[in-house]
Amino acid sequence: MEAPESVDLLDLGRVGARALKEKEFAKWKDLLEQGRGVAHCTGDKTSNFWCKDPVRAGLTESEFLIALKLRSNTFRTSSEGWSSSHAESCRLCGTQRPTLAHVVSHCPNLKEQRMQNHNKICQAIKGIAESKDWSVTSEKHVRNKGRLEDKAEMYRHLDETLKDRLKVQTMHFVDFPMGAKGKWHPNNDLTLELLGLSKAERESKKPRTFPGWP
């Protein structure tokens, strides 16, 4: 049953909680700012588990509140609409409005912090691989003009170059995307499985090992 437009019109004896949740979620994801990126986590138990169990995810109370604000796009910035003294441009770079998306993903002055998080994720994967007796070579410098949309495809054309550099016969390219607000990409589980982790090991490592998740 579809929930009515107004909560005042609800017949609580007939309308289920699921229908009401779906109605409110549809409103939320259609919002211009607060709804941005929300649909990506729809029905994703892995990406959303910390909402129900922040203690298992290793979050303190304050971290949990911040994570909720980041996920719901209600973390206050100085962009228009959030502050009485709102800023038209980012105080760090001055090139764009200081929206949450800009601060988290695009501000050039915060690139170093994003790279630090990227490097921590690389180190976490390296540690997992080495724990399963893989030989790991980090940050081989190979000239590349690939596009950034798909990291696996970005390096695939370097197949022969890397085979020669690493002295191997076969290459397998995988990416490991990490969502800025806690999205866990399902293919990451396949990568961890390829490294030799059991399902129990994969589930236990995700909340503790990878920075930025959630």
Full DSSP string of 157-206: TTHHHHHHHHT-S--------B-TTSPBPHHHHHHHHHTT--HHHHHHHH
CA 110 to chain centre: 17
User: Model-level pTM?
Assistant: 0.64
Phi and psi at residue 184, in whole multiples of 5°? -105, 120
| 144-193: pLDDT as tens digits | 454 444 566 667 777 788 888 888 888 888 888 877 667 788 888 889 99
Is omega for the bond preceding 108 within 30 degrees of 0, making it cis?
Answer: no
Domain ranges of the chain: 31-75+107-209
